[in-house]
C-alpha cells in the first residue's frame, strides 16, 4: 500500500500556499518607492477581488478582524444594542461587536452545516437587535435566503463573516457579496493568504464610503486622493486598517492561481470523502455535508465522531502516527470572557456543544499529496476498527 512509502511521517495540519512569483510582486512594490497601503498593488488586488467575485466595493484591510470591526463601527451601536452571531465561531466575530459598542447575543448552529440555526436566530431577536453576523463555516455557506428574509422583516443589517468563504458560492453567488457587508480573511491559515490581511466588501455605496473613512483613521483622505475635496480632515470615528502594498503583493500571485488552489483542495477533500465513506456507512463517524445549492472552497475538512472521549482518543492516536488533527472553536458562550462579561452561564446551545465535542479537523492544503491523504485514511480506519 502507498502508505508504507512515506518514511518518518509528519503530516502538518496546514501549510500556506506561497509560490515563487511572490518575490517578483514584492520587488515591484519596493521599486515604486511606496510601501504603505492603498498604493498601486492594493488597488490592483482590490480590482481583482471586485472582478473575481462580482462585488461593487472591496477594501483591503489589515485583517478580517478589522474588516468585521469596520462593519460594526459603521452601525453606530448604542449601549444595549444587540448583534446576533453563532457561539461556534472565532473570537473576532464577537470581539468586533464589542469593539463597535454592541452586545453579542449567541445563537445555536444547525447540525447539518454547522452554520447559524435560522430558527434560533429568529427566536433571539429583540427590540434591541440591530444586526446579525452569519458565519460561513469550512467554506460552506450559511442559509442566506432565510437569514436575509428574517433580517429584512426586522430591519437588521446582515454582515457576513466570510473569513472562510473566499471563492465559495451560495446559489451561484460568491460568499461575501450577499449580505449588506462582508469580511474576508487572508490570514495564513486561510485558503488565500497575505500573511495577515483581510477585505471589507459591499455592494452598497454608502457603506463603502463609511468603511473608507473608518479604515483611514476617521478621515476623508480617500476622497482627497480622488480629488473630491481639496483637503482632508477628521470626519468620523475610525482606526488604522489599511493593508500594506507589500502584503497585497503576496496575495496577488494567489489570486492569479485562485482556481488551481481550490482544485487542489478539492482533490484532498474528495480523497477523504471516498476513503472514509465506508466508516460513515458503519456509523463510526459522520462526514461533512455540502448542500446542493452550495459550492465549497474546501477550507476545512472535518469528521464528526461519536463522543468527546473518542475525539480525544482519535486525536492522540493520529498524533502518534505523525498526523496533526485538531478540534475547533471552544464555544464562545462558555469561554471565560463571555461568562464574566456577558453572563452566558445559563445559555443552552446544545448543537454547538455537541459539535464542539465531536468535531475533528484533518490536514487539508494544496501541497498535501494523495499518498498522504491515503495514509490518514488508513490510520483512521485502523483506529476506528
SS percent in the chain: helix, strand, coil, step 5: 40, 15, 40
How far separated are the first and last CA of the chain, in Å rounded? Answer: 18
Q: Does 16 bind ligand PLP (CB under 6 A)?
A: no
CB of 116 to ligand PLP, least distance (A): 12
Cα 145 to Cα 118, 159, 171, 312: the distances in Å are 10, 14, 9, 37
Instruction: Pull the grid cell for residue 324.
Output: 496533526
- Number of residues in contact with ligand PLP, rule: CB under 6 A? 14
Q: Does 298 bind ligand PLP (CB under 6 A)?
A: no
CA dihedral 210, 212, 217, 222 (to 10 degrees): -120
Compare residues 64 and 380 and give the one whose CB is closer to ligand PLP.
64
Q: Does 179 bind ligand PLP (CB under 6 A)?
A: no
| From candidates 25, 85, 87, 89, binder to ligand PLP by CB under 6 A | 89
| Alpha carbon distance 65, 126 (integer Å) | 26
Compare residues 187 and 252 and give the one whose CB is closer to ligand PLP.
187
Q: Does 164 bind ligand PLP (CB under 6 A)?
A: yes
Please choose, from the candidates 297, 269, 258, the residue with its C-alpha nearest in 3D space to the C-alpha of residue 169: 297
Backbone angles phi, psi at 86, to 5 degrees: -70, 150
Alpha helices in 257-324 (DSSP H): 258-281, 308-320
| Alpha carbon distance 385, 381 (integer Å) | 6
Q: Does 159 bind ligand PLP (CB under 6 A)?
A: no
Considering only residues 112-141, where is the footprint of ligand PLP by CB under 6 A? 135
Compare residues 65 and 296 and give the one whose CB is closer to ligand PLP.
65
Q: What is the largest CA-CA distance in the chain?
A: 72
78 contacts 101 by C-beta, under 8 angstroms:
yes
Q: Does 198 bind ligand PLP (CB under 6 A)?
A: yes
Compare residues 132 and 380 and give the one whose CB is closer to ligand PLP.
132
285 contacts 376 by C-beta, under 8 angstroms:
no
CB of 52 to ligand PLP, least distance (A): 18
Window of 85-93, 148-156, 225-233, 319-327 that interacts with ligand PLP by CB under 6 A: 85-93
Q: Does 63 bind ligand PLP (CB under 6 A)?
A: yes
Q: Does 187 bind ligand PLP (CB under 6 A)?
A: yes
| Alpha carbon distance 67, 168 (integer Å) | 19
Window of 87-95, 168-176, 222-230, 270-278 that interacts with ligand PLP by CB under 6 A: 87-95
Q: Which helix (H) or strand (E) holds 94?
A: helix 91-99
Compare residues 64 and 84 and give the one whose CB is closer to ligand PLP.
64
Q: Does 64 bind ligand PLP (CB under 6 A)?
A: yes
Window of 7-15, 158-166, 302-310, 363-371 that interacts with ligand PLP by CB under 6 A: 158-166
Compare residues 180 and 372 and give the one whose CB is closer to ligand PLP.
180
Q: How many CB atoms lie within 10 A of CB 284?
A: 18
| From candidates 88, 90, 272, 298, binder to ligand PLP by CB under 6 A | 90
Compare residues 65 and 253 and give the one whose CB is closer to ligand PLP.
65
Handedness of CA 211, 217, 219, 220 (dihedral sign): negative
Residues that bind ligand PLP (CB under 6 A): 63-65, 89-90, 92-93, 135, 161, 163-164, 185, 187, 198
Amino acid at each position: 500500500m502507498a502508505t508504507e512509502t512515506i518514511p518518518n511521517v509528519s503530516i502538518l495540519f496546514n501549510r500556506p500556499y506561497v509560490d515563487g512569483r511572490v518575490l517578483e510582486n514584492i520587488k515591484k512594490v519596493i521599486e515604486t518607492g511606496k510601501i504603505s497601503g492603498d498604493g498601486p498593488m492594493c488597488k490592483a488586488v482590490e480590482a481583482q477581488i471586485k472582478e473575481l467575485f462580482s462585488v461593487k466595493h472591496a477594501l483591503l484591510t489589515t485583517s478580517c478582524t478589522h474588516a468585521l470591526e469596520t462593519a460594526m463601527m459603521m452601525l453606530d451601536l448604542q449601549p444595549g444594542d444587540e448583534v446576533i452571531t453563532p457561539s461556534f465561531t472565532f473570537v473576532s466575530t464577537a470581539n468586533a461587536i464589542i469593539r463597535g459598542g454592541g452586545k453579542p447575543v449567541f445563537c445555536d448552529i444547525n447540525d447539518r452545516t454547522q452554520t447559524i440555526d435560522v430558527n434560533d436566530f429568529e427566536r433571539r431577536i429583540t427590540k434591541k437587535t440591530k444586526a446579525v453576523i452569519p458565519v460561513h463555516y469550512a467554506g460552506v455557506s450559511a442559509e442566506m435566503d432565510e437569514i436575509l428574509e428574517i433580517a429584512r422583516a426586522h430591519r437588521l443589517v446582515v454582515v457576513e463573516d466570510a473569513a472562510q468563504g473566499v471563492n465559495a458560492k451560495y446559489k451561484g453567488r460568491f460568499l461575501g457579496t450577499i449580505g449588506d457587508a462582508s469580511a474576508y480573511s487572508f490570514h495564513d491559515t486561510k485558503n488565500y493568504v497575505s500573511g495577515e490581511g483581510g477585505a471589507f466588501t459591499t455592494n452598497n455605496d454608502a457603506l463603502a464610503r463609511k468603511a473608507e473613512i473608518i479604515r483611514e483613521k476617521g478621515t476623508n483622505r480617500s476622497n482627497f486622493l480622488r480629488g473630491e475635496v481639496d483637503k482632508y480632515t477628521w470626519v468620523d470615528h475610525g482606526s488604522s486598517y489599511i493593508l500594506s502594498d507589500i502584503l497585497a503583493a503576496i496575495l496577488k500571485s494567489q489570486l492569479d492561481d485562485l482556481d488551481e488552489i481550490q482544485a487542489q483542495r478539492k482533490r484532498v477533500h474528495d480523497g477523504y470523502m471516498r476513503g472514509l465513506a465506508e466508516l460513515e456507512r458503519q456509523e463510526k463517524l459522520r462526514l461533512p455535508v455540502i448542500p446542493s445549492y452550495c459550492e465549497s472552497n474546501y477550507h476545512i475538512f472535518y469528521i464528526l465522531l461519536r463522543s468527546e472521549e473518542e475525539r480525544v482518543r482519535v486525536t492522540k492516536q493520529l498524533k502518534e502516527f505523525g498526523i496533526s488533527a485538531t478540534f475547533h472553536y471552544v464555544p464562545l458562550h462558555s469561554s471565560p470572557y463571555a461568562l464574566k462579561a456577558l453572563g452566558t452561564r445559563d445559555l443552552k446551545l446544545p448543537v454547538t456543544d455537541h459539535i464542539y465535542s465531536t468535531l475533528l479537523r484533518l490536514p487539508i492544503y494544496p501541497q498535501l499529496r494523495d499518498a498522504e491523504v491515503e495514509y490518514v485514511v488508513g490510520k483512521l480506519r485502523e483506529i476506528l476498527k
